[in-house]
Amino acid sequence: MADEQSAGAERVALLRELQQRANLTPEQVETWVAEVRAERDAWRTPGDEA
């Protein structure tokens, strides 16, 4: 479980770095996150875990 948490923390850090380098405003980040969630949800089948 510690490995999963470490990998998750690393992914979050990489995403934040990408967002910072892209010079996104907080509003743009929120829009981006919403679009990614919508795309992910569109591919998810009922009963899949998040």
What's the pLDDT score for residue 6? 84
E strands, the chain, are: none
Q: How many residues does the chain have?
A: 50
Model confidence pLDDT, tens digit, residues 1-50: 667 778 889 998 998 898 789 888 889 989 988 999 999 999 876 666 65
Q: Which two tokens stand for residue 47?
A: 């009963």
Residue 31 identity (one-letter amino acid)? T
Q: What is the pLDDT of residue 2?
A: 67
CB 26 within 8 A of CB 18: no
Q: pTM higher than 0.85 for the full model?
A: no
CA distance 40 to 32: 12
Letter for the amino acid at 4? E
Which DSSP symbol is given to 23? T
